Amino acid sequence: MMIPKKLIKNGELTANFDLLVDKREVTQQINYHLATEKEI
């Protein structure tokens, strides 16, 4: 995933961006887990 150069220059923005990405990945994992449970 490409990170815009603007975010790299500003450490605080980069940290926030990383948090958003982590949150999105966790949400995807939870959604996948819930979908898998429904199928069983």
Instruction: Give me 2's structure tokens.
Output: 């490409």
Quote the pTM value: 0.43
pLDDT tens sequence across 1-40:
565 665 556 666 666 777 778 888 888 888 888 888 776 5
Buried b (16+ CB within 10 A) or exposed e, 23-33: eeeeeeeeeee
What is the C-alpha to C-alpha distance for residues 27 and 19, in angstroms, rounded to an integer?
12
Q: pLDDT at position 10, please?
A: 60
What is the C-alpha to C-alpha distance for residues 40 and 30, in angstroms, rounded to an integer?
16
Range of the domain at 7: 2-39
Q: pLDDT at position 29, please?
A: 85
For the chain, how many structural domains are there in total? 1
Q: pLDDT at position 31, please?
A: 85
